[in-house]
Chains A and B, each alone.
Chain A
Amino acid sequence: MISGAAVLLWGVAALLGTAVLAIASSHGSGSGTRLIYSLTLGISAAVLLVLASRVADDPVTPSTAELPLGLPWIGAHFRLDALSTFFLVVVNFGGGMASLYGLGYGRHESAPHRVLPFFPAFLAGMNLVVLADDAFTFLLSWEFMSLASWALVMAHHREQDNARAGYIYLVMASFGTLALLLAFGLLAGPSGNYTFEAMRAAASAPLVAAFVLALMLLGAGSKAGLVPLHIWLPLAHPAAPSHVSALMSGVMTKVAIYGFIRVIFDLLGEPAWWSGVVVLFLGGLTAVLGILYALMEKDLKRLLAYSTIENVGVIFVSLGLALAFKANAMPSAAALALTAALFHVLNHSFFKSLLFFGAGAVLTATGERDMEKLGGLIHRMPLTSFAFLVGCVAISALPPFNGFVSEWLAFQAVLQSPDLPQWGLKVMVPAVGGLLALSAALAAACFVKAFGITFLGRPRSAAVELAHEVDRYSLAAMFTLAALCLLAGIVPGLVIDGLSAVTLPLLGSRMPVQMAEPWLSIVPIAASRSSYNGLLVFLFIAVSGSFAAFVIHRFASHALRRGPAWGCGFPDVTPAAQYTSISFAQPIRRVFGAFAFRAREKVEVPAPGETGPARLTVEIHDVIWETFYLPIGRAIDFATDHLNHLQFLTIRRYLTLVFLFLIVLLLVLALWP
């Protein structure tokens, strides 16, 4: 009987083989596309079956495998435990759904030979990162994943701004990997033992642990999209083809979160209490700023990418809470917070994939990502609209869908904060809870905007008038995800009980068994404190909605009347006079924009008698880009300008430079105490 990890390695090998096959076959037309996506779909499904049998059998006992690759004295170690099983489910389910969607969406691909080879490779890379059990394999897989996704971002490299997005992504990815490399170097210590096994056994000094936390926040945080390291994300995610965007947003950010959890919760040992404060602060900041950026956005896919940043913030808030509770020996509260984080990881992979698929469907049907040119699609693409609406409701954390459950669990964890001993945490946690509530409310506004402007109203461009429903593969992928969003919202207990296998080895504790509660209720701490029943809410909504519809249809007039819409006294009501995404977001921009974006509005009205048009100019700054990144860019420009002289010295001067440097090194050696 070969171990679970070995079976999964065969899955990875199959994915890599598919990538090679894709290189050979991608110059053909539709048949190559169909073949590759069918293969990846099949492999993902097979891997999911293996994982399912593992979950049903014994998810806790780790299964290991070793390959004679990598560094000669280490080899490549792989390990499948409960945490990696969970993340592999997320990865392969996302991969399978993206493949299903790709079966239909991929037919419209203009450059399939730039997408098909990298898609399976990207999936293989993500699987390998989660399976890796030594630092070398982890970093190698991480880089492989980054490069494969970079190639996918650059698939349409001739389109405007895509090359810049790819470049910034590449720079940030290298930076992140550098941080991870240093973090693993610190964890390995002077003995240089790079297996996770040895790192788990070794205890780190407090200072080293602090550095490792900082480096992991930089390394994993830059991949996940923590503010202020998020800048590449809204550029790169939308630039890729839509099913790849879904993978990058829904799954790759989760792989980064996996890396963070693996190192901080598993390898590093006992955390210090202040590490919770740092993670909480960054998470709260990320959540609010991410969703504010999303609100300002009028490009549908970029809006979704910014919303990913918000959700990563929410997950990091839960992780920060788990760290704080873990440091203070409150295992049941820590288990609650970690469960909330992992549940949100699963949920976000569902609804963000769904929403990106919807955006891709809109893109296929109309060729537009700009919401200002969309509108009225609900009449032309009713099924896509419905699925997208489900995604919007779920991501806005409205019951009975899944987003509500995980955010509710996060708030339940926030409410445990008065039991914390440190005043820093006592003050910090409710404040971050406030930020979390704010971001949830703003997310709802944001997705009202996304759905309303895109699907409701009247078409704003000719392309939209001609749009029609997308193919059945895409719809199947979207409806599967929509059904899962609902299902995870109605039977959250099933997920929570499944996650107990993950929290038990990491924290030594788990949430109470939920499936034993009557009527699918969930009771995170005690029935006297709080409980939630998704089924009840769903039934209430369904019954009251049906009843209201029945009453209206039964008792209201049957005569169909169409009257002119009230146009606010505007004489010529064109589609351009509708609410736009910018105007919808204006109140929020007025409230938050002055400090978050240094937003300015300027109204120019021509003097009476002049015939020129009046102008409203809105100026928005990306404060983080301008404060953190532009100075770095300027410093590099300055340095390169001035170091350029070194390119044109005489041979003797080069010799002199080498000589002087040698002398300086020798002097340092001679004077070193």
Chain B
Amino acid sequence: MNGLTFDIAHLLAGGLVLVSFMMLYQDRLFALINVFALHAIVLALSVAWQAYIQDAHHLYVTAAIALIFKAIIIPVGLHRIIQRLGIHRDIETAVGIGPTMLAGIGLVTLSMVLMLRVTPDADPLAREDLAFALSIILLGLLVMVTRRNAVSQVVGFMSLENGLVLAATGAKGMPLVVEISVAFSILIAFIVIGVFLFRIRERFDSVDVGALDDYRGEHR
């Protein structure tokens, strides 16, 4: 592997982490979804680059799945849901932007320290890749934790899944079957959660999950 291919792979994976950071400070839903679409595009590029340098053609399929489903269909679908729900003007963060960004930096540090420590004799590309993937997973979790709106929690969850895909494609020989199943499980999760959103909306006139707590008779 020469220096340039490594650098480009590194750049794309790092770019994915950067986009994850961008997600942290979006307080409008449309902006959040747009950033998520960008996230998926960068992922598709990264996977395609891996397919090229590993000479693994099945990874192109994965890249295409990422591009078509995650960068186009799902964002468009979420846009429509938001418009139908009429919540596109909502501003929502449960935790302030500053602390969230600091926490994100801490998480990235943690995953770097951890991954470089536990994989001293792995392939350097795979090492970097795994460290970035873990950062993306943790940042996705952070998005889920810091949001109150169900739509943005779905977005956080899907960006988490992007991290998993990155990790899977970075390691050589990961079979496509697993890929597809992971992608489809996410799709199904998206559909199910979408259905739930409408149900919640019908019942409570809001997709703020706090309404569920009111319904259960306790509010904290």
Point out the residue from B107, B113, B138, B220 that lies within 8 Å of A650, measured CB to CB. Answer: B220
Q: Which of B56-64, B162-170, B209-217 interfaces with chain A?
A: B209-217
The one of A650, A659, A662 in contact with B213, judged by C-beta atoms closer than 8 angstroms, is A650
Complex alpha-carbon distance, A651 and B138, angstroms: 18
Chain B window 66-89, contacts with chain A (Cβ cutoff 8 Å), 1 for yes, 0 for no: 000000000000000000000000
Given A666-B114, A670-B117: A652 and B209 within 8 A (CB)?
A: yes
**Residues of A390-429 contacting chain B, CB below 8 A:** none
B155 within 8 A of A: no
Q: Report the separation of the CA atoms of residues A656 and B213 in the bound assembly, to the nearest whole angstrom.
A: 16
Interface presence of A171 (CB below 8 A): no
Q: Are A655 and B144 in contact (CB under 8 A)?
A: yes
* Candidate in B111, B145, B147, B213 with the most chain A CB atoms within 10 angstroms: B145
Check A648 for interface membership: any CB of B closer than 8 A: yes
- CB contacts (< 8 Å) of A669 on chain B: these are 114, 118
Partner of A652, one of B94, B114, B142, B216: B94
Min CB gap A266→B, angstroms: 42
- Say yes or no: A663 contacts B107, CB within 8 Å: yes
Per-position binary interface string of chain B over residues 90-131, scored 1 when its CB falls under 8 Å from any chain A CB and 0 otherwise: 000010000000000001001101100110000000000000
Within 8 A of B (CB), among A645-673: 648-653, 655-656, 659, 662-663, 666-667, 669-670
Q: Which residue of B lies closest to A660 (CB)?
A: B145
The answer to whether B142 touches A659 (Cβ under 8 A) is yes
Indicate if the CB atoms of B210 and A650 lie closer than 8 Å.
yes
B window 128-165: CB within 8 A of A = 138, 141-142, 144-145, 147-148, 153
Residues of B within 8 A of A659 (CB): 141-142, 144-145
Q: Which residue of B lies closest to A667 (CB)?
A: B110
B218 on interface, CB distance cutoff 8 Å: yes
| Other-chain contact of A670, B114, B141, B153 (Cβ < 8 Å) | B114
Q: How far is the CA of A280 from the CA of B187 in the complex (A)?
A: 66
Are B145 and A663 in contact, with the CB atoms below 8 A? no
Residue of B nearest to A654 (CB): B145
- How many angstroms between the C-alpha atoms of A662 and B160 in the bound complex? 14
What band does the interface of chain A fall in when counting residues whose beta carbon is under 8 Å from B?
10 to 19
Complex Cα spacing A651 to B193, Å: 14
Q: In residues 6-48 of chain B, which contact A (Cβ within 8 Å)?
A: none
Give the residues in chain A near B142, CB-CB below 8 Å: 659
A652→B220 contact, CB < 8 A: no
A667–B94 Cα distance when bound, in Å, is 25
Judge whether A670 and B145 touch: CB under 8 Å: no
Binary B-proximity of A15-39 (CB < 8 A = 1, otherwise 0): 0000000000000000000000000
Bound complex: CA A353 to CA B171 (Å): 68
CA distance A667 to B141 in the complex (A): 16
Determine the chain B residues whose CB is within 8 A of the CB of A663 once the complex forms.
107, 110, 138
Contact A652 B148 (CB under 8 A): yes
Q: From known contacts A650-B209, A651-B209, infer whether A666 and B145 are also in contact, taking CB-CB under 8 Å.
A: no
Q: Smallest Cβ distance from A258 to chain B, in angstroms?
A: 47
Please report the C-alpha to C-alpha distance between residue A396 and residue B97 in the assembled complex, in whole angstroms.
Answer: 81
Within the complex, what minimum Cβ distance (angstroms) separates B215 from chain A?
12
Contact partner, B141, options A648, A649, A650, A662, Cβ 8 Å: A662
| A670 proximity list for chain B (CB < 8 A) | 110, 113-114, 117
Q: A666 touching B144 by the CB < 8 A rule?
A: no
Residues of chain A within 8 A of B110, CB atoms compared: 663, 666-667, 670
Residues of B within 8 A of A667 (CB): 110
Q: Are A656 and B212 in contact (CB under 8 A)?
A: no
| Docked complex Cα distance between A648 and B220 (Å) | 10
Q: Tell me, in angstroms, the Cα distance from A650 to B147 when the chains sit together.
A: 12
Which chain A positions have C-beta within 8 A of B107?
Answer: 663
B111 partner, pick from A648, A649, A666, beta carbons under 8 A:
A666
List A residues 581-618 near B (Cβ within 8 Å).
none
Cβ–Cβ < 8 Å partners of B144 in chain A: 655, 659
Residues of chain A contacted by B141 (CB below 8 angstroms) = 655, 659, 662
A663 to B144, CA, bound (A): 15
B220's nearest neighbour on chain A, judged by CB, is A650
Considering the complex, give the chain A residue whose CB is closest to the CB of B106: A663
The interface residues of chain B lying within 8 Å CB-to-CB of A651 are 209, 212
Min CB distance, A657 to chain B, in Å?
10
A648 to B218, Cβ gap below 8 A? yes
Chain A residues positioned under 8 Å from B138 (CB to CB): 662-663
Q: Which residues of A contact B216 (CB under 8 A)?
A: 648
* A670 to B, closest residue via Cβ: B114
Complex: chain B residue closest to A658, CB-CB: B141
Please, how many angstroms separate the alpha-carbon atoms of A666 and B130 in the complex? 14
Are B220 and A655 interface neighbours, CB within 8 A?
Answer: no
| A653: chain B residues within 8 A (beta carbon) | 220
Chain B residues with CB under 8 Å of A649's CB are 220
Chain B nearest Cβ from A649, distance in angstroms: 8
Q: Which residue of A has the minimal Cβ distance to B134?
A: A666
Residues of chain B lying within 8 A (CB to CB) of residue A650: 209-210, 212-213, 220
> Smallest distance from the beta carbon of A45 to chain B beta carbons, Å?
60
Closest CB of chain A to B135's CB: distance in Å? 11
Q: Is the CB of B145 within 8 A of A652?
A: yes
| A242 to B: closest C-beta gap in Å | 52
Specify the chain A residue showing the minimal Cβ separation from B219: A650
Given contacts A648-B218, A650-B220, A663-B110, contact A655 B145 (CB under 8 A): yes
Interface string of A166-205 (1 = CB under 8 A from B): 0000000000000000000000000000000000000000
B209 to A: closest C-beta gap in Å: 5
In whole angstroms, how far apart are the Cα atoms of A622 and B216 in the complex? 45
Q: CB-CB < 8 A to A656: which residues of B?
A: 145
Q: How far is the CB of B43 from chain A (nearest CB, A)?
A: 22
Q: Which residues of A contact B209 (CB under 8 A)?
A: 650-652
- State how many angstroms separate the Cβ of B161 from the closest Cβ of chain A: 15
Write the nearest CB–CB distance from B160 to chain A, whole angstroms. 11
| CB interface residues, B 171-220, toward A, < 8 Å | 209-210, 212-213, 216, 218, 220
* Residue of B118, B138, B141, B142 with most chain A CB atoms under a 10 A cut-off: B141
B141, closest chain A residue (CB): A659
| Chain B residue at minimum C-beta to C-beta distance from A672 | B117
B210 proximity list for chain A (CB < 8 A) = 650
Minimum C-beta distance from A392 to chain B (A): 63
CA distance A666 to B94 in the complex (A): 24
CA distance A659 to B209 in the complex (A): 18
Query: Which residues in A have their C-beta under 8 angstroms from that of B111?
Result: 666
Q: Which residue of A lies closest to B213 (CB)?
A: A650
Proximity bits, A611-654, B CB within 8 Å = 1, else 0:
00000000000000000000000000000000000001111110
Which of chain B's residues have a CB closer than 8 A to the CB of A662? 138, 141
Question: What's the Cα separation between A669 and B113 when bound, in Å?
Answer: 10
- Complex interface: chain A residues within 8 A of B113 (CB): 670
Give A668's nearest chain B residue, CB to CB: B114
How far does the alpha carbon of A394 sit from the alpha carbon of B218 in the complex, in Å? 67
A667 to B107, CA, bound (A): 10
Q: Which residue of A lies closest to B212 (CB)?
A: A651
Q: Mark A339-372, 1 if CB is under 8 A from B, else 0.
A: 0000000000000000000000000000000000
Contacts of A666 in B (CB 8 A): 110-111, 114
| A653 to B220 Cα, complex, angstroms | 10
B-to-A contact residues, CB < 8 Å? 94, 107, 110-111, 113-114, 117-118, 138, 141-142, 144-145, 147-148, 153, 209-210, 212-213, 216, 218, 220
22 contacts between A and B (CB under 8 A): A648-B216, A650-B209, A650-B210, A650-B212, A650-B213, A650-B220, A651-B212, A652-B94, A652-B145, A652-B148, A655-B141, A655-B144, A655-B153, A656-B145, A659-B142, A662-B138, A663-B107, A666-B110, A666-B111, A669-B114, A669-B118, A670-B110
Give 9 nearest A-B pairs by CB, closest first.
A670-B114, A656-B145, A659-B141, A670-B113, A650-B213, A659-B145, A655-B145, A651-B209, A655-B144
Q: A651-B212, A653-B220, A659-B145 are in contact. List 12 more A-B contacts (CB 8 A).
A: A648-B218, A649-B220, A650-B220, A652-B145, A652-B209, A655-B144, A659-B142, A666-B110, A667-B110, A669-B114, A670-B113, A670-B117
